[in-house]
Structure 1
């Protein structure tokens, strides 16, 4: 049969024989012309078959995907829609490795056309030699196809087995000259040798690739149902994420899960290396590679995303770039993710790691360390830490973090959880200053001051005398930062100042560029110093340090120290009597971490505490309580004397405003652990306690507390003057105000109270004109700050000096003021308790989503409550609702 030539093609008997035999004289294998049958659990995917319809408009179509991606079944499903009465003829050929012989390939292709009902004419001839094809045959075939009125669709399945450039050239010749008579569909794992760029440029190529072949979560859910599995959406999403939508992985997982008593648990926890998926990938992917490529794949399995240079470093090779590019082109479960980086399919990587442990015991840790060292030299610290931890080399891992001045990542939001979780596995392994500093940071981040100091002291002992080297400078600067934090937590301002001085001496000694890479270290150090100075009552020095942090360039790394510094600057403004400024800074602090997407709650919560204190002064007691609750819930275990004292004082003032004097006393008597006393905290606590004792008639007890009130704090001095006045010593009260001159040093929240002390003294002296002038001045100053509490605290003497409207708004026990023309009507229908909750949070500028999360309800529920609030308040917008509620004393 092999001696028959193409010229003999006209011989009827020979042509008849050739119809059933290849150039070797062997019968054609009919299975190679069969369209694959659809399994019972096959899932049609209209989005892909619709895309394949474009194949009828372009001469060339390529379906290119990994093994098991569902390529052949997809095309088979599509061609069944074509091969029907009135449809287009479809010739299907599954190629094999023997197809690299040109004569054999074309003999099978021509037989596929005969099986499809479009036999080439006898004039075309037949390949007589398995190893060659004459130019005449391909030209005649192309001309005959070009003459067809309707095209024939030729599908070449598993075309990746055809690696002969000669066949590719011949096929491209026929495709180009067949014109509209041929639509060629290549189903392949690899990029074919045809000049695809020409077809792309001309818009004559339809492509479906691996990413498009991947199952969506919706498709995966339907596939699971075909296997008798009904899974929750989260379980399906998890499976799709793990398999990356790989068709074979999903089907094999579904088959195995169907045999489990708990399919959902099985799919969440199955070990890929002990499943049919492992058998498939090992046979279809790994074992198809040469020994060197197999070894490379085993070694890079310890990496997540990797460059060829990193792969070379881990494997000890110098040719990874070419190998990885080839594997990616061949869809060998190596994906090029852009920017010169690659990654393995997660299931493939999992299986390879299991084989690495089995075939190369102990090698995994070595490979992780090689990767960690290369990544550290390349400046990829986060990845280096991960590999160092995976190798259980904690001296290297802790040293990398400390030497890079990155210890601040324990405290700065975006990386805090990752770094804390990474080093939580360290245990007692690792000796030396760096591991001890990391342990200290971990404990201090959890507010475990004593344990943190224990590790910090060990690190300092191991360091000994400073040798002046840049690496040790970084370690000592890390020590200074942690020392400043511990001092802040302990309420030890002198130690914080000493730590700051030590840090200042080291700035110039650290390696160049380190501080620029880690701006959070400087920001944290100054934030701790500023907070310690605030505790000490050195407001101006504290303001200088905190302002330096607040003025740093915004960034995710410094967002938390910026938020905290802004909150503490707001607290200083509040203590100095500048309520509007305090409120502005506090809201600026709240917005700081939101803009970088940091988790809520974040920061220390001091900004919400300041807003609560401002709300008390404005007599918005409900809002003050809501803000206090939020502040307390942010970090209940926070070790911060400034925050603890501020919360106790604000709570006590709120309780006093509600008439709960015993509870107020209990709040301020709670001890705030600190090594050094805070003058303003001690003085403010004494004033609140004295006010509570006065309310219950214990005048002498109140007088005894005056000794604890420092005159150097203006707000405290004004409070002391009020106490003098309340205990019958008006002259002493006025002399104290004359001495401290609050009008020159403080804001309205302080000066209004000072003016009211002077007004009451004038009233008691019978000087009504002076009293009226001073009350008028106080009202003018209070109006811009919306201050009410000082007037409500003033007592009955002030009523004659207020008009009816002002008296109603500022003092209790009077009738309502007449409604101004043009103002909305009063609320007829009361707000429900839940509507009050929503309204309070609205006033805190929380978004609808934040309110829903805070109240543990759905967003739609919050929207329903908001509509009801708007209706009852006769408003249309959020800011109008808040303004109206304040006018009606609902907040």
Structure 2
């Protein structure tokens, strides 16, 4: 949707001319300042929107921000709904919601995560913020209701939501009502009282009716405002007002039809025709109305309708955009359907063409679909694909594809291939190939079009257009090959991945950077899975460069994580760290829009810090990533965060906590685009071995079905090196079994493979394990020789700390002896400073120093983490605030905490606000951390 169209949805309506002021309702709205939600629930025509416009207009000078959103059925998809909500809030409070918008653009939709980010932004706003959701019934659904409930229950104290709807929404209203957290205005409240009816009919409408006539209309309409408005319009200029009022009877179902008919009869044929034909439009502007009606008086007619109070509502201050009152529009559409049903598709098609000419893509597609012009809708979607891909509006594209008939999708190469992409992302691998085959068949049938858009302009009311001949069509063959490479990668078919990726490079044009980047990426992944790390580095570096050339910064930064993993495998953790640092600097410069990429980079850096022995640095990076990861979508960064947390927990001496984190990682992991070179079950097995729980580790090995006689391959390397650790532990527990003998032979095979493939990182680990295996077998000389090689060869030895220290006392003993031997050798041979003996001596000494238990020191305040401010110097926490704080460190929701303390949710909000202020934080998580740092918990 273009900026101008979106603005009409965000327009705060001006107070209506002649509005009857209703102090009793203003007072009820004012009470909303003390609650999270104000609900206006009444049928159409009860003045909900007019009341809100009056109240917010009356208090316009107050210290508050008003975000208004007029909803319609096009916003009923959760991604579209939350995009509109965040955009509305940004219009009132610039700067909030940037990270939330980026999360929305990254399917699958992580509702709680984006709302957490949004709530945190709103918590920092120093003014009251009012979010008004008008016509909420148009989007009400279980999916949206779940998110709304979460949002309302986590609102900061100064943020308030107002929902205006024709029917009660799917929200926990009863729960909020009992807690006193809900202000309700219903039809009984909104009905005009007799005095208000008299004020409207005589003072506003100027009808000068007798008291009895006013009373009759009040009784017949039951204070229903829309009916009174229609009655007033019908009475204007009548000589038989009394007779009209006497005839005016019936229930609401018939009153509207009767009154609209009365109103329409008093209009000229030109106005009546205009009203019926433009009823298909949700929003009206003069040129659009002209395109639909075929006339040239749209702007003047709209202005005249507004002057006549004929249910036309302005949507901007310039009086360019309008909408009909919803009740009036419903009746007009019903009348149009009964009188001119054959005209409706044509009217929608004309609206679609006009919106297309104005680059209002979403409205153009919506009207084409409503007009059942599915060929045209498919054409428009094809034209929109480049824009949607650049802006990452995947949810919008998928929503359109779901509405199109399957036949239209299958005969479009572009739509077929992107439908395949959605199936791939959702995990439906078997369905992908069928759609790719459809794309190939459709591609072969596409005629050569010189200028598809020009052809459209030549036949505005003519035949449906051919499928678009866009740049996307030209890239379809390469995209098909890329998706086939992805399917092969997900299935573990390394050869197929490489073959399809090479084919994609052949098909991609020199300027098709996105396809070339994807193809090079899959070639690199195939080489990596095959153990060819130098080849993987070369091709994947080209992939990242192509993504940069395509301007796809998010994917470029995310791919840096994979490239860094390859550098780690090559034995160059320092190069991986440099890549991470540069990418993180670039992501931070872009701010909240890169929060997802930033979190992935922080997780990667945490792993490097941990391996280098810097646990505090690892924790800092994991804290920085936590805001995105804990509730995020199924991405690499999410499950990897739990893996990294588990490894840190292990190093901190908590194997139970480590296994808990790894269990969560295992639940989140989905086989996808990256080789599974470090299986989570094997990571858990290493924790068990280090813990001494050999029974669990043996169960893992038996379930995996691996043994020392297996052939060596890179994809199985991590699991087999885990098996070696288990065998060494079994050898030490039962020396007579000779369990480690087979491990030595297995390590020899893996060492030869890693050396030939240029995987220096693997070489260091294998030689270290050879030292432990020989030592467990009592072969001390061979053990020291292997350890000497492991210490002497790494090009960046300072990055390898946990690799050695994680092996415990046996490794410490070997390091001490290796240091003594190297010290003697260096002195005896007067080795130069860069000699092997000196390197072994210095590296062993450094590891032994790092492995010594830390000396106790006075507790120091930890640095501020994301979401925290410097601690304030205000009064200490009260006893009640300490009670609240302890419950914040639990799984209880805000309402559940309030119930446990026997206080209202609003009182809890107040306590929480005071706690945040005193601790200098802006979120629940940060408050708990700061309290622990200060010894309050």
Report TM bin, short chain: 0.5 to 0.7
What is the aligned partner in structure 2 of residue 16 from structure 1? none
Correspondence 1:20-169 to 2 at 5 A: 44-45=24-25
Matched-pair contact (CA < 8 Å) for 1:473–1:506: no
Name 1:504's counterpart in structure 2. Answer: 508
Partner residue of 2:486 out of 462, 485, 488: 488
Residues 177-200 of structure 1 deviation map (CA, whole Å, 9 limit, x = unaligned)? xxxxxxxxxxxxxxxxxxxxxxxx
- Higher relative contact order structure (alpha carbons within 8 Å, sequence separation ≥ 6): 2
TM superposition shift of 1:689: 2.8
What is the Cα deviation at residue 716 of structure 1?
1.5
Q: For the residues of structure 1 that align with 2:587 and 2:896, how far apart are their CA atoms?
A: 25
Counterpart residue number, 2:766: 720
Distance in 1 (alpha carbons) for counterparts of 2:860 and 2:382: 62
Query: For residue 341 of structure 2, what is the aligned residue in structure 1?
Result: 361
Give distance in 1, aligned partners of 2:765 and 2:446. 50
Change (3 A) 1:321 1:70: same
Q: Deviations over 1:307-327 (max 9, x none)?
A: 433333333333222222333
The 2-side partners of 1:350 and 1:457 are apart by 44
2:859 aligned residue: 823
Matches within 5 A, 1:554-565: 561=555, 564-565=558-559
1:748 to partner: Cα distance: 0.5
Contact 1:564 1:604 in 2 (8 A): no
- The 2-side partners of 1:45 and 1:499 are apart by 69
Structure 1 pair 716–761 and aligned structure 2 pair: CA distance change class (3 A): same
Tell me what 1:332 maps to: 310
Is the 2:433–2:484 Cα contact (8 Å) retained in structure 1?
yes
| Closer, same or farther: CA 487–808 of 1 in aligned 2, 3 Å | same
Q: What is the CA-CA distance between 1:460 and the residue it aligns to?
A: 0.9
Matching residue within 703, 707, 710 for 2:754: 710
Alpha-carbon contact 2:646-2:658 (below 8 Å) kept: yes
Distance 1:654 1:341 in 2: 65
Larger radius of gyration: 1
Alignment length (residue pairs): 605
Q: CA deviation at 1:454?
A: 1.3
Query: CA–CA distance in 2 between the matches of 1:306 and 1:566?
Result: 48
Cα distance in 2 for partners of 1:43, 1:885 equals: 49
The equivalent of 1:183 in structure 2 is none
Name the SS of the counterpart of 1:343 in structure 2: strand
Alpha-carbon RMSD:
6.4
Q: Does 1:401 align with 2:381?
A: yes
2:672 to 631, 635, 639: 639
Q: Residues 283-294 of structure 1 correspond to what in structure 2 (within 5 A)?
A: 283=261, 286-294=264-272
Q: 1:748 aligns with which of 787, 799, 803?
A: 799
Tell me, in whole angstroms, the C-alpha distance in 2 between the residues paired with 1:581 and 1:238.
Answer: 61
Which position in structure 2 is the counterpart of 1:433? 412
Is 1:691 the equivalent of 2:695? no
CA distance in 2, matches of 1:582, 1:523: 18
Extract unaligned runs of 5+ from structure 1: 1-35, 51-65, 75-210, 256-272, 509-514, 781-790, 792-800, 810-816, 826-838
Is the CA contact 2:520–2:543 (under 8 Å) kept in the aligned structure 1? yes
Deviation at 1:451, TM superposition (A): 0.4
Alpha carbons 2:640, 2:665 under 8 Å: kept: no
Within 5 Å, give how 1:287-686 maps onto structure 2. 287-338=265-316, 340-406=320-386, 409=389, 415-426=393-404, 428-430=406-408, 431-434=410-413, 435-464=415-444, 471=469, 473-481=471-479, 483-491=481-489, 492-495=496-499, 497-498=501-502, 500-502=504-506, 504-505=508-509, 507=511, 535=529, 537=533, 538-546=536-544, 549=547, 561=555, 564-569=558-563, 571-572=565-566, 575=569, 576-577=572-573, 595=593, 601-602=631-632, 604-615=634-645, 618=648, 619-620=651-652, 628=662, 637=670, 639-642=672-675, 645=678, 647-648=680-681, 650-661=683-694, 663=696, 680-686=714-720
Structure 2 SS opposite 1:725: helix
- Which residue number in structure 2 is paired with residue 760 of structure 1? 814
Whole-Å separation in 2 of the counterparts to 1:467 and 1:643: 43
Distance of 2:225 and 2:515 partners within structure 1: 48
Per-residue deviation at 1:341?
A: 3.1
Q: Residues 507, 735 of structure 1: CA spacing in aligned structure 2 closer, same or farther, 3 A cutoff?
A: same
Q: Which residue of 2 aligns with 1:857?
A: 893
Residues 305, 602 of structure 1: alpha-carbon distance in 2 compared, 3 angstrom cutoff? farther
Q: How big is the shift at 1:425?
A: 3.5
Match of residue 6 from structure 2: none
Alpha carbons 1:437, 1:479 under 8 Å: kept: no
Give the equivalent residue in structure 2 for 1:777. Answer: 843
Whole-angstrom distance in 1 between the partners of 2:663 and 2:261 = 61
Are the structure 2 counterparts of residues 456 and 239 from structure 1 closer, same or farther at C-alpha, using a change threshold of 3 Å?
A: farther
* Distance 1:593-1:71 versus aligned 2 partners, 3 A rule: closer
- Residues of 1 paired with 2:25 and 2:820: CA distance? 93
Could you tell me the TM-score, scaled by structure 2's length? 0.50
Tell me by how many angstroms 1:737 deviates.
8.2
- The CA distance in 2 between the partners of 1:447 and 1:769, in whole Å, is 57
Shift of 1:455: 0.8
The equivalent of 1:159 in structure 2 is none
Q: Is the Cα contact below 8 Å between 2:504 and 2:516 reproduced in 1?
A: no
| CA distance in 1: counterparts of 2:388 and 2:677, whole angstroms | 23
Deviation string 1:761-810 (CA, Å, 9 cap, x unpaired) is: 78269616379974753675xxxxxxxxxx7xxxxxxxxx559xx5335x
Summarize the Cα distance change of 1:392–1:646 in structure 2 as closer, same or farther, 3 Å threshold: farther
Question: Does the 8 Å CA contact 1:217/1:237 hold for their aligned counterparts?
Answer: no
